[in-house]
Structure 1
């Protein structure tokens, strides 16, 4: 079974984006891996993008190299990608892991979000195009979530949300 690396653009402990990806991992535990090193990445510096790589960057690139596809779920901050997640993407530019990588994303912005996360996803499409990732349109979905939909176990039980998550994973694999 192809491996899908799950990347959350949020560093929040109670993030609905991360909860959605934890739900994806629970739905397909044998074919997914949740990356949890976002906070550990150093600020991108082209001078540091040489061997030996900073350990957190080497871990990120190894996780990417081991994956067949990526599923991203990121919030939008101030109309753009969160800085920490853009930093993660910057670290992918100098690596050889992204060209041709199948990528999808789920937009979990709540229904009251002013733009529904369009700014972040526009930037995401730009960066992914730059690193020559292959965006799988059928794996890109809008699934608005509210914090109240996240259970005490950190997962989302709503059957419609789970159906959308499964459909995105199926499209990637």
Structure 2
């Protein structure tokens, strides 16, 4: 099972990117996770740019999605909304076939962010019929360093929650694949 974990943050020391990397490190055997942390490198979406081949950074994202069995998104909340970089990445995918029909689940690295999560759930339920809102992992990791996140997700209850999330999402991906 190959999963692509997309961070909605453009920040180098992002808590959500660190969560995705930590969860990838504890993935059970048979689940391989690649982390995409390049939403900040994508050009601003314009339908005019869809007329030719997509820009290289967009093409890389599209190929990574095409090669995955499912997507995991983890994102901060900016001003009660989806960060511009993540929304831009989703905008690049809407008119293509890369996200349509792709299983998607969410993670979140904060006890806050419910407005963003509600908006993201609405957007995802619009762009793919295989968004699984009930498969969700939320860990209160705000203000922790990436190293500390790797440590706390690597052991104990957080590790068990991460493994359970991955196993549930992998089972969902297998079920909807046919």
1:145 has 2:145 as partner: no
Q: In structure 1, the residue corresponding to 2:18 is in which secondary structure?
A: helix
Tell me, in whole angstroms, the C-alpha distance in 1 between the residues paired with 2:128 and 2:73: 16
Q: Return 5+ residue gaps in structure 2 as ranges.
A: 171-178
Cα deviation for residue 149 of structure 1 reads: 6.2
The aligned counterpart of 1:171 is 168
8 Å CA contact retained: 1:149, 1:157: no
1:8 CA displacement: 0.6
User: What aligned pairs does 1:30-45 form with structure 2 within 5 A after superposition?
Assistant: 31-45=32-46
SS of match in other structure, 2:96: coil
Give the 3 Å change call, closer, same or farther, for CA 94–157 of structure 1 in structure 2.
Answer: same
The yes-or-no answer on 1:155 pairing with 2:140 is no
Contact 2:15 2:144 (8 Å CA) reproduced: no
Q: For 2:104, what is the secondary structure of its paired residue?
A: strand
Deviation at 1:31, TM superposition (A): 1.1
Using the size of structure 1 for normalisation, the TM-score is: 0.87
**Counterpart position of 2:26:** 27
Deviation (angstroms), 1:70: 0.8
* Aligned counterparts of 1:169 and 1:138: Cα–Cα separation in 2: 13
The CA deviation at 1:147 is 2.9
Matches for 1:17-166 after TM superposition, within 5 Å: 17-28=16-27, 31-109=32-110, 111=111, 116-148=112-144, 150-151=146-147, 155-158=150-153, 159-166=156-163
Counterparts of 1:8-19 in structure 2 under 5 Å?
8-19=7-18
What residue number does 2:175 align with?
none
CA distance in structure 2 between the aligned counterparts of 1:102 and 1:70, rounded to whole angstroms: 6
TM-score when normalising by structure 2? 0.85
In the aligned structure 2, how far is the partner of 1:46 from the partner of 1:136? 28
Displacement of 1:87? 0.5
Deviation at 1:137, TM superposition (A): 3.4
Quote the RMSD (CA, aligned, Å).
1.9
Once residues 49 and 165 of structure 1 are traced to their aligned partners in structure 2, the CA distance between those partners, rounded to angstroms, is 37
Q: Structure 1 regions of 5+ residues with no counterpart?
A: none
